[in-house]
Structure 1
Amino acid sequence: MSGDKRRFGFWNPAPARHSPLEDAQGIFTGSMIAALGLTLIGSAGLVAGGIAGVAFILHYLTGYSFGLYYSALNMPFYALSLSRLGRAFTIKSFLAVGLTSLITEIQPRYLKIETLEPLWAALLAGLLLGYGLLALYRHRASLGGIGVLAVYLQDRFGWRAGLVQLAFDLVVLAAAFAVSAPFIVLCSVIGAVTLNLFLTINHRSDRYIAM
């Protein structure tokens, strides 16, 4: 039994650093899963939380690319990331944001969604984004924006990243009433709650110690 525990990493007193190859697959996988969640949100006309939510609102208002807005809005947060969380975290987050934006833009060419119920889309998207962010967080990366601030506050003060992000998400979702019907905003809120509760339960530094 003790051999199995060591084999699967339970109660390992010495955290192991991820190799560059492991980080690369983690960032790619997390970005792919997160991009699928964002595609579901866009296909259902929903609004995400955080910086992605602001990008969706601007996209709906102007018709310009979500990916372009998402990448541009994340730029100011890289300064915080660089000064507080280090160069490696910043570079990996920059790559994750760029990759997620790119995949979200090209994905409709390869994935056609004919019917999508908004509430179901919100639940699926919340879980997909949660899994994507969890993969990125565990490889010391994020999807930028509020995620950078949330990870910093968790590392600095012990505040749960999921709860920090939820507070910001609710503010952004309140602004969604300017571009979406109340039912769509309600579904978006359900998606944001699903995402952030998933992160609150599963992203804990005292449980996952690999670096």
Structure 2
Amino acid sequence: MTAHADPVDPAAPETGPSLVFEEKAAPHSWLDDVVGLATGTFTVSLGLFLLHLSTAVTGGTAGLSLLLNYALDWPFWALFAVVNLPFGALAVWKRGWNFALRTLVCIAGVSGFSVLIEHLFLVESIDPIFGTVAGNLLAGIGLLIVFRHGASLGGINVVALVIQDATGIRVGWTMMVFDVLVILLALLVVPWPFVVLSAAGAVVLNLVLALNHRPGRYIGH
């Protein structure tokens, strides 16, 4: 009489399907990181370009850079770099040189892609509602990719990641608090209907991060 194997219970944690693997099972290679960071910074840059076309802002230092661009008419790429670079020291102190160097590369990437998109994507106008929602969605997706590859875009991103490491509070919720402050400042520069629209867009961006950037939701590192 032949022995029969015990039936497999798909609901059992040791046999059921899972997207959570051992940490060593899915590491990022250097090529993964290069492609991932390039993709993330390009996506963020495209999102910020749509926000700029819509005369909208978003939260964090990206939103602050847009505000300064509207108020001073200085190049966005330069403002973004200058506003974010001081946070490099915090990144080194709290997250190490590897994270800090990747963050500096990403800051430079967003600045560089911003110039490229501005010269190659020749769009003169856009529906502000579409531009604000799409811009924040793209910026949120890009930030998520950057975070997944061990970097940030400096500024509030670094602060939010440090707070998450220390307290477990998700990045998206922390950034939302800072974003409210930036959007309130926008009332000094941008007409109030665009500020209201920007606030709704910032919620979209941070929901992307809050619902997706959490432990156990990703198999790579």
Smaller-chain TM-score range?
A: over 0.9
Q: Matches of residues 18-29 of structure 1 in structure 2 within 5 Å?
A: 18-29=28-39
Q: Matches of residues 133-172 of structure 1 in structure 2 within 5 Å?
A: 133-172=143-182
Corresponding letter in the other structure for 1:135: I
| TM-score normalised by the chain length of structure 2 | 0.89
Question: Could you say which residue in structure 2 is the equivalent of 1:127?
Answer: 137
Question: Could you say which residue in structure 1 is the equivalent of 2:202?
Answer: 192
In percent, how many aligned pairs have the same letter?
Answer: 34
Higher Rg of the two aligned structures: 2
Match of 2:21 among 12, 15, 20: 12
Tell me the distance in 2 between the aligned counterparts of 1:133 and 1:5.
28
Aligned length: 208
Alignment RMSD (CA, Å): 1.8
CA shift for structure 1 position 206: 2.7
Deviation string 1:38-96 (CA, Å, 9 cap, x unpaired) is 00011111112111111111111111111111101111111110010111111111111
More helix by share: 1
Match of 1:54 among 48, 52, 64: 64
Match of 1:37 among 27, 47, 50: 47
CA shift for structure 1 position 132: 0.2
- Aligned residue for 2:28, secondary structure, equals coil
Question: Could you say which residue in structure 2 is the equivalent of 1:116?
Answer: 126
Tell me the distance in 2 between the aligned counterparts of 1:125 and 1:65.
19
- Aligned residue for 2:23, secondary structure, equals coil
Tell me the distance in 1 between the aligned counterparts of 2:146 and 2:77.
19
CA shift for structure 1 position 106: 2.4
Question: Could you say which residue in structure 1 is the equivalent of 2:215?
Answer: 205
Task: Could you tell me which runs of 5 or more consecutive residues in structure 1 were left unpaired when the two chains were aligned.
Answer: none
* Residues 41, 47 of structure 1: 8 Å contact kept: yes
Shifted more, 168-177 versus 104-113: the winner is 104-113
Question: Could you say which residue in structure 2 is the equivalent of 1:91?
Answer: 101
| TM-score normalised by the chain length of structure 1 | 0.93
- Aligned residue for 1:47, secondary structure, equals coil
CA shift for structure 1 position 112: 1.8
Tell me the distance in 2 between the aligned counterparts of 1:14 and 1:62.
47
